[in-house]
Amino acid sequence: MTDAILIEKTDDAQTVSIHTIDDSDLPEGDVLVDVAWSTLNYKDALAITGKAPVVRKFPMVPGIDFSGGVAESSHPDFKPGDKVVLNGWGVGEGHWGGLAGRARVKGDWLVPLPDGLSARQAMVIGTAGYTAMLCVMALERQGVRPTDGPVVVSGAAGGVGSVATMLLSARGYEVAAITGRPSEGDYLKKLGASTIVERSQLEGKVRPLGKELWAAGIDVAGSTVLANMLASIRYRGSVACCGLAAGMDLPSSVAPFILRGVSLIGVDSVMCPLQERREAWKRLAQELDLTLLDSISTEIGFEDVIGVAPRFLAGEVRGRIVVPVNPSLA
């Protein structure tokens, strides 16, 4: 028996509460994991609050990522005692996720916990940090180099933005950090940002083209923020897009693409192939300054997750939210 956050829906009314579940309640899968740590992500907050139709079937245990140890396995790549990490694959949306003491999943969804990372550190990084690394890798494939000029990062005080700022700075890039909270300037500079850009500068009327300010960008916002970012990317620059915090629309024009040769790269972390996942996690363990992880994370109790979710959506949290589920197992 173990505790789980359970989202239920009856007659179009959604309820969320902590339930006690048994292994027999868990969905099908060839690996049973004792969850040590999980997180509260943007998608989890949407699921818990019901602000967007994230959950595809009910009842659902949220938690799009987790770390822990294998309890049982019939998968050839994993055995009891192995330390693992999971991100995405529809977990917490269509398959019960990590905000429970145990999770049963497909072994093909798991990544071995990289050497040098603890289970807690892996969740401070979590889906947000893993997505940030995928964005950095996407820009590198486009040939973006530190000598090309500054890279702009939207939502820089959030999970993806915080880790992206750290990664880019560590690799020698000049980082322009966009935030709607100017008070976070010192925090962002500690992570490696060179300049702070107020979000309001990218929320106004969208121009087809603006002054060429940045060599590349990482965007978690979408909508006018992304449109204005594209308008100010230098000739043949690139933007990696991975979020929609400001909206799903893109009120842009073709001007940045056909007059400056700008590239817009979509980055998906949910169904990303296993080989690329493993590369991303290997690089995260090697390239992140792990001493800074505490400064980008807040730990909340399992019983506090439901109450914190609305604050997450209101933009009242910084960096990463980590949740100890069974930390003694790590």
pLDDT one-digit tens code per residue, 314-328 = 888 888 999 999 887
Structure tokens at 219: 């965007």
Beta bridge partners of 15: 8
Residue 159 pLDDT more than 70? yes
Give me the pLDDT at residue 316, please.
84
Give me the pLDDT at residue 108, please.
96
Residues 247 and 134 in one domain: yes
Last residue of a domain, one of 266, 284, 317: 266
Lowest mean pLDDT among 63-77, 134-148, 311-325: 311-325
Percent of the chain with pLDDT over 70: 100
Percent of the chain with pLDDT over 90: 89
- Residue 330: pLDDT band by 50, 70, 90 thresholds? low
Residue 125 pLDDT more than 80? yes
Q: How far apart are CA 207 and CA 98, in angstroms?
A: 43
pLDDT tens per residue, range 172-225 = 999 999 999 889 999 999 999 999 999 999 998 999 999 999 999 999 999 999
Q: What integer is the mean pLDDT of 3-10?
A: 95
Give me the pLDDT at residue 1, please.
84
Q: Positive or negative, the Cα torsion across 275, 278, 280, 282?
A: negative
Which CATH number belongs to the domain containing residue 70 in this structure? 3.90.180.10
Residues 137 and 257 in one domain: yes
The mean pLDDT value of the chain amounts to 95
3-state SS class at 85: strand
Give me the pLDDT at residue 11, please.
82
Residues 131 and 93 in one domain: no
Which CATH number belongs to the domain containing residue 182 in this structure? 3.40.50.720
Residue 79 pLDDT more than 70? yes
Q: What integer is the mean pLDDT of 248-264?
A: 97
Residues 102 and 225 in one domain: no
Residues 8 and 56 in one domain: yes
| Residues in contact with 305: Cβ distance below 8 Å, sequence separation at least 6, in sequence order | 5, 40, 48, 99, 323
Q: Count CB neighbours of 296 within 10 A.
A: 24
Q: What's the whole-model pTM score? A: 0.90
Residue 248 structural domain = 126-266
Q: What integer is the mean pLDDT of 230-257?
A: 96
Number of domains in the chain: 2
| Residues in contact with 199: Cβ distance below 8 Å, sequence separation at least 6, in sequence order | 154, 178, 179, 180, 225
Give me the pLDDT at residue 318, please.
80
Q: What integer is the mean pLDDT of 90-98?
A: 96
Residue 300 pLDDT more than 70? yes
